[in-house]
Amino acid sequence: MGLDRHPVERYTVWIKNAVQGDLGMAARGGATINSMVKSRLPNSALLAAVAFLIAVPTSLLAGVLAGTRPDTKLDRILSIGSLLAISIPEFIIGVILMMVFATKLGWFPSSSILLPGETILGSPKILVLPTLTITGALFAYILRMARANVIEVMESNYVRTAILKGLSMRQVVFKHVLPNAMIPTITVIANNVGWMFGGIIVVEFVFAYPGIGSLLIMAIDNRDMRLLQSTALVIAAIYAFANLAADLLYGLLNPRVRVGQ
Amino acid sequence: MNKEPLLKVENLSVTFFTPRGTVTAVREASFEVSRGEVLGIVGESGCGKSTTAFAVMGYLPTTAETGGSISFEGKDISSLSKEDLRELRGNRIAMVYQDPTTSLNPSMKIGIQVQEVISEHLNLDQTARDEKVVELFESVGLADTDQVGDRYPHELSGGMQQRVMIAMALACDPDLLIMDEPTTGLDVTTEATILDLVASLKERVNAGILYVTHNLGVIARVADRVAVMYAGQTVEQSNVKDLFASPKHPYTSGLLSCVPKPPGAGEVSSRLKRIPGFVYSLEESDVSSCLFAERCPLADSECTTVSPALKFIGQNSEVRCFHSDKVEPDTWGGAEERISRKDVASPTVLTGTGITHEYGKRRKKYMAFGPDIDLPVRALNKIDFEMPQGKTLGIVGESGSGKSTLARAVVGLVKAKDGSLQLNGKELDKTVEKRSNEDKSAIQMVFQNPTASLNPKLKIKNTLIRSFMRFSKLNKQESEERAATLMEEVGLDPSYLERLPSELSGGEQQRVAIAGAFATNPEIIVADEAVSSLDVSVQAQVLSLLEDRQQELGNSYIFITHDLGVVRYVSDDIMVVYAGHIAEYGPSEAVLSSPSHPYTEALLSAVPIPDPSAKPNPLRLEGAVPTMREEFTGCFFASRCPRKLESICDTEAPPIQKIPGNETHVINCHIAIEDLEKIQA
């Protein structure tokens, strides 16, 4: 571990290795951090991707439905429901889902521990409850965002122009409302990728899901500074990358911020 | 003459039910539009003009309740199904809106936005549609018609955006074209080119046009017939010539006499007439009186107890007044003489020398190297001026010409990059923070938007007493007494002191803002578009207030405005600025008459004159004020100058020429004075 060397030297060596993709050894267990991250990151990515693929289209659809018919019964239900989902923390939603679907009904396993040799794709049932938990909060958040943006755009002068061109409501919504309402919404979604990784840590812990989040918790439990530092670094990098993608996406969608030649 | 009119609106009423109560925006509106004619609807804000226009499109919120009838070619709009209404909109009835920037979809190319109407209503294939769009762009005078369709709205200037909107409205050869304040918010030079386009449409298209505006000059320029609206009622209707020559309703007569006359030669010798009070509250619902009675000089007991109906008074003329036969030029009082200040010599209070300002910094591509990627905007370039005591200096120019920057530099809200300001011979610090309390109280400012410049959470009292306590070192009680007197001086009831700004109308708020500026007993008040957002009747009240105060107290005003009528009325001297440079500067009647700088000439010819018999001057400016990032190689105005000479204007900065016989009048131009006089004769 080189504890006999000067801290500055050890730090420069660590940095040198870290930027080359070598995060060093974990304090316990004798495995390299690289291999631990490598085995768990895909699991987290899978969980996130599935949650995303479910939450984004459905929540956008629901948000647009609610936004185009403000103050109707459907809108009220979706708005109040999403407010509830946002205000309940993930670990409570997770536990409630576990009680209902795992303990009472027994449809899905309550924990996602993998036995040696098992893969997640081999037993997809363990994905269901963690995914649902993450989807809940994400769905509510995107829905509210999409709804608010759709309502704002619906009241804009250019939508009035479109209606008074004689276009049908369907054309107005699809050609004029959605593209403009989606610009800020999609940016928020992309920003949420980073935020979602925070949520994933908790959810992975609740379901003992073998991802990067539970690795982080494990590092805290074991007071393994190196592992903690490295997992935090990986999560931060994902966060930063997601934000960059969000900004680039915004530029791509919005002609006003595109840089001219 | 018996044929059915294209559009017939009878006793239209529109009531909105809001959480704060019912608002009757339109109560008794009746008018007709025939094919081939332009009906102008004119009135102040809150008179129901736009609501009427949208009612004709069948576009009102679902909470609105309408009464009366709107029939288009004999069919009642309100009885149409959704499908029939869609078939009408954009196809048979098309509309052009007030604010083109927000009325175009920002994320869609303009060509596609125009095509959309065509593909919705006409059965054309793609090539024919493309051709049609190019044809439309040509007909509204857009340049580069083949490529312009690929641009996004934000890549076009306001005037070009409005041309796109008009092209869109003309796409299906509509039978009725509704234009709702299409030039409001555009610069006067752009407005003139759009009005030319509208005037040419009259000849080209066989449609009826409903033109809504608050601007009497615009009405005189485009309309054949005029309907005047007040508090949701049509109060007078007649052809445009008769309306301007002999208005029959006291409101029309008042409106016409409270507009400052358009720029012309000579001093304005009589004061503006004023309509007292404010537009009738729309929240009243039961009406058993003439709505104009409380502001009307002719009102008697009949007017306050019986609601007058529209009555015919000759061919195609209608008026809603019991006393229309008594309306005459002196209805709003005889001419009040103004005291001429032309030959009064007065000492100089404020001198500005070489005031220069830039926004932003120069940036290079690679830190300190490489080509410039960002240049500063040269907002002001060596501006010199002198402010005589007790007089008014008017500053005019298009938006982006540097007027407001100059005002802010004088007050110290921007720190001028170079130059100096001297107050009574004493150097003033460039920023307001570093000025002494005396200097701060000597120069005060009134802003354009009173609603935004008054603190919404502070009672009027607290806004006003702050300056007394801070600058005059009075205690709270003394300050409150002074505030009460001040309120009376600006024509407001002292009970208003306990109110919040939101409980006041726009005109009342601007009076409070003016009171606030007077509270420090200033020598100079800088008014930056202080009357621009006000209705003409309120504008006349505020201008008179400023005039009275100046006569009493002898303050000087720096008056910034884009309205040349207003500037002619208030100013002793006028400075015409363009792209941060002084184009022309001198006594106001000299600046407003020939010889003038070509820019002044173009501004003057762009002003719509509230007189239908006036021939519009054809001189027009194309394009917009340059961004002022690049240094001018020649004259600052060369890129748009209608009188440009060969070569020299592109290569050399223009000399400052003094007008023979009037040393205080200067023109910054290459063209010799006698030549300017000859061209402009």
Of A161, A171, A179, the CB nearest to B103: A161
**Given this structure, which CATH class describes domain B7-92+176-326?**
alpha beta
- Pick among A68, A69, A155, A158 to test the B interface (most B CBs inside 10 A): A158
Which residues of chain A does B121 touch, with a Cβ-Cβ cutoff of 8 Å? Answer: 166
The span from the CA of B596 to the CA of B607, in Å, is 15
List pLDDT tens digits, range B98-140.
889 999 999 899 999 999 999 999 988 999 999 999 999 998 8
Question: Does the beta-carbon distance from B117 to A160 stay under 8 Å?
Answer: no
pLDDT at B532: 81
A156 interfaces chain B, CB cutoff of 8 Å: yes
**Lowest model confidence (mean pLDDT) among B186-195, B290-299, B365-374, B442-451:** B365-374
Q: Are the CB atoms for B310 and B234 separated by under 8 Å?
A: yes
**Lowest model confidence (mean pLDDT) among A80-84, A142-146, B1-5:** B1-5
Of A163, A165, A183, the CB nearest to B107: A183
**Tokens standing for residue A186:** 């999609």
High-pLDDT (> 90) share of chain B, %: 34
Question: Does the beta-carbon distance from A176 to B108 stay under 8 Å?
Answer: yes
Q: Is the pLDDT of residue A261 over 50?
A: no
List pLDDT tens digits, range B415-432.
888 999 999 988 998 888
High-pLDDT (> 70) share of chain A, %: 91
Closest B-chain CA to A183: B107
**Tokens standing for residue B25:** 């925006």
- pLDDT bucket at B1, cuts 50 / 70 / 90: very low
pLDDT at B584: 94
Q: How far is the alpha carbon of A163 from chain B, nearest alpha carbon, in Å? A: 8
B118 interfaces chain A, CB cutoff of 8 Å: no
3-state secondary structure of A165: coil
Other beta carbons less than 10 A from residue B617's beta carbon: 14
| Residue owning tokens 């008459």 | B593
Phi, psi of B43 (to 5 degrees): 165, 170
Comparing B345 with B126, the larger pLDDT belongs to B126
List pLDDT tens digits, range B12-62.
999 988 777 788 889 889 999 999 899 999 988 878 898 999 999 999 888
Closest B-chain CA to A250: B107
Instruction: Domain B348-457+500-680: give its CATH superfamily.
Output: P-loop containing nucleotide triphosphate hydrolases (3.40.50.300)
**Domain spans, chain B:** 7-92+176-326, 100-171, 348-457+500-680
For residues B77-87, give the mean pLDDT.
89
Show the DSSP H helices in chain A as ranges: 7-19, 33-68, 73-87, 90-97, 125-154, 157-164, 169-171, 178-206, 212-221, 225-253
List pLDDT tens digits, range A136-181.
878 888 888 889 999 999 889 999 999 999 999 889 998 899 888 8
CB-based contacts of B461, cutoff 8 Å, min separation 6: B480, B483, B497, B498
Q: Is the pLDDT of residue A13 over 80?
A: yes
pLDDT at A225: 82
**Tokens standing for residue B652:** 């050399």
B86 interfaces chain A, CB cutoff of 8 Å: yes
Question: Does the beta-carbon distance from A255 to B154 stay under 8 Å?
Answer: yes
List pLDDT tens digits, range A211-245.
888 888 888 888 888 888 888 888 888 888 888 88
List pLDDT tens digits, range B193-241.
899 999 888 888 888 999 999 889 899 999 999 999 998 899 999 999 9
- pLDDT bucket at A49, cuts 50 / 70 / 90: confident
A253 interfaces chain B, CB cutoff of 8 Å: yes
Q: How far is the alpha carbon of A179 from chain B, nearest alpha carbon, in Å? A: 7
Question: Does the beta-carbon distance from B86 to A166 stay under 8 Å?
Answer: yes
Q: How many residues does chain A have?
A: 261
Domains B7-92+176-326 and B348-457+500-680 share a fold: yes
- pLDDT bucket at B258, cuts 50 / 70 / 90: confident
The span from the CA of B487 to the CA of B489, in Å, is 5
Q: Is the pLDDT of residue A4 over 50?
A: yes
- Pick among B101, B105, B108, B161 to test the A interface (most A CBs inside 10 A): B105
Please say whether the structural domain A32-257 has been given the CATH code 1.10.1040.10.
no
B91 interfaces chain A, CB cutoff of 8 Å: yes
Question: Does the beta-carbon distance from A158 to B105 stay under 8 Å?
Answer: yes
A168 interfaces chain B, CB cutoff of 8 Å: yes
Of B89, B103, B154, the CB nearest to A166: B89
Q: How far is the alpha carbon of B405 from chain A, nearest alpha carbon, in Å? A: 26
- Pick among B101, B107, B155 to test the A interface (most A CBs inside 10 A): B107
Which residues of chain A does B181 touch, with a Cβ-Cβ cutoff of 8 Å? Answer: none
**Domain spans, chain A:** 32-257
pLDDT at B266: 65
| Residue owning tokens 């306001």 | B158
Which residues of chain A does B59 touch, with a Cβ-Cβ cutoff of 8 Å? Answer: 160, 163-164
Question: Does the beta-carbon distance from A255 to B105 stay under 8 Å?
Answer: no
Q: Is the pLDDT of residue A258 over 70?
A: no
High-pLDDT (> 70) share of chain B, %: 98
A161 interfaces chain B, CB cutoff of 8 Å: yes
**Lowest model confidence (mean pLDDT) among B280-289, B615-624, B649-658:** B280-289
Of B90, B152, B165, the CB nearest to A166: B90
Specify the pTM.
0.84
Phi, psi of A33 (to 5 degrees): -65, -40
pLDDT at B2: 45
pLDDT at A259: 53
B173 interfaces chain A, CB cutoff of 8 Å: no
Which residues of chain B does A256 touch, with a Cβ-Cβ cutoff of 8 Å? Answer: 106-107, 152, 154
For residues B580-597, give the mean pLDDT.
89
Q: Are the CB atoms for A25 and A12 separated by under 8 Å?
A: no
pLDDT at B131: 92
pLDDT at A260: 46
**Lowest model confidence (mean pLDDT) among A119-133, B502-516, B647-661:** A119-133
Of A161, A163, A166, the CB nearest to B87: A166
What is the bridge-based pairing of β-strands B363-366 and B64-72? unpaired
Question: Which residues of chain B from 148 to 167 reach within 8 Å of chain A, CB to CB?
Answer: 152, 154, 165
The burial class, CB within 10 Å (0-12 / 13-18 / 19+), for A21 is exposed
Closest A-chain CA to B170: A165
Question: Does the beta-carbon distance from B107 to A156 stay under 8 Å?
Answer: no
Of A156, A165, A183, the CB nearest to B102: A156
